[in-house]
Amino acid sequence: MGVTNYDVVVLGSGPAGEGAAMNAVKLGKRVAVVEQSALVGGNCTHLGTIPSKALRHSVKEIISFNTDPMFRAIGEPRWFSFPNVLKKAENVISKQVKSRTQYYARNRINILFGHGRLIDQNTVEVVQHNGSIEQLVTKDIVIATGSRPYRPANVDFSHERIYDSDTILQLKHTPRRIIIYGAGVIGCEYASIFSGLGVKVDLINTREHLLSFLDDEISDALSYHLRHQGVLIRHREEYDKIEGTEDGVVLYLKSGKKVKSDALLWANGRTGNTQGMGLEHVGIEPNSRGQLEVNQHYQTSVENIYAAGDVIGWPSLASAAFDQGRSAAGNIAANNDWRFVNDVPTGIYTIPEISSVGKNEQELTAEKVPYEVGQAHFRAMARAQISNEPVGMLKILFHRETLEVLGIHCFGDQASEIVHIGQAIMSQKGEANTLNYFVNTTFNYPTMAEAYRVAALNGLNRLF
Which tens digits make up the pLDDT trace of 82-120? Answer: 988 888 888 999 999 999 999 999 999 999 999 999 999
Structure-derived torsion over alpha carbons of residues 77, 220, 360, 382, reported in degrees to the nearest 10: 40
Binding region for FAD: 35-44, 53, 116, 145-147, 310
DSSP 354: E
Cα 22–Cα 28–Cα 30 angle in degrees, nearest 5: 75
What is the pLDDT, as a whole number, of residue 21?
Answer: 98
Q: Is 12 left (phi over 0), alpha (psi -120 to 50) or beta?
A: left
Which tens digits make up the pLDDT trace of 231-269? Answer: 999 999 999 999 999 999 999 999 999 999 999 999 999
CB burial string 439-452: b at 16+ within 10 A, e below: eeeeeeeeebbbbb
Query: CA distances (Å), 150 to each of 24, 50, 271, 460, in order?
Result: 32, 20, 5, 46
Q: Which domains does the chain have, with CATH numbers?
A: 2-148+271-333 (3.50.50.60), 162-268 (3.50.50.60), 352-460 (3.30.390.30)
CB 21 within 8 A of CB 110: no
**Beta bridge mates, 332:** none
Strands (E), 85-182: 110-120, 123-128, 133-143, 147-149, 162-164, 177-181
Which tens digits make up the pLDDT trace of 140-156? Answer: 999 999 999 999 999 99
What is the pLDDT, as a whole number, of residue 136?
Answer: 97
Ranked by mean pLDDT, the top range of 17-21, 57-61, 171-175 is 17-21
What is the pLDDT, as a whole number, of residue 371?
Answer: 98
What is the pLDDT, as a whole number, of residue 156?
Answer: 97
Question: Per-residue confidence at 216, pLDDT binned at 50, 70, 90?
Answer: very high
Report the pLDDT averaged over residues 209-216.
Answer: 94
Report the pLDDT averaged over residues 188-192.
Answer: 97
Rounded to 5, what percent of the chain is helix, strand, coil? 35, 25, 40
Binding region: 35-44, 53, 116, 145-147, 182-189, 269, 310
What is the pLDDT, as a whole number, of residue 1?
Answer: 64
What is the pLDDT, as a whole number, of residue 430?
Answer: 85
Determine which of 59-73, 229-243, 381-395 has the lowest per-residue pLDDT on average: 59-73
Whole-structure pTM over 0.75, yes or no?
A: yes
**Residue 48 one-letter amino acid:** G
Q: Is the pLDDT assigned to residue 71 strictly greater than 90?
A: no
CB 182 within 8 A of CB 267: yes
Question: Per-residue confidence at 78, pLDDT binned at 50, 70, 90?
Answer: confident
Nearest C-alpha neighbor of 116 from the set 6, 325, 275, 272: 275
What is the pLDDT, as a whole number, of residue 18?
Answer: 98
What is the pLDDT, as a whole number, of residue 118?
Answer: 98
Q: Is the pLDDT assigned to residue 202 strictly greater than 90?
A: yes
Question: Per-residue confidence at 368, pLDDT binned at 50, 70, 90?
Answer: very high
What is the pLDDT, as a whole number, of residue 436?
Answer: 95
Strand, coil or helix: 246:
coil
Report the pLDDT averaged over residues 65-78.
Answer: 79
Half-sphere exposure of 446 (CA within 13 A, CB side): 9
Binding region for NAD(+): 182-189, 269
Q: How far apart are the first and last CA of the chain?
A: 76
Cis bond upstream, residue 83 (ω within 30): no
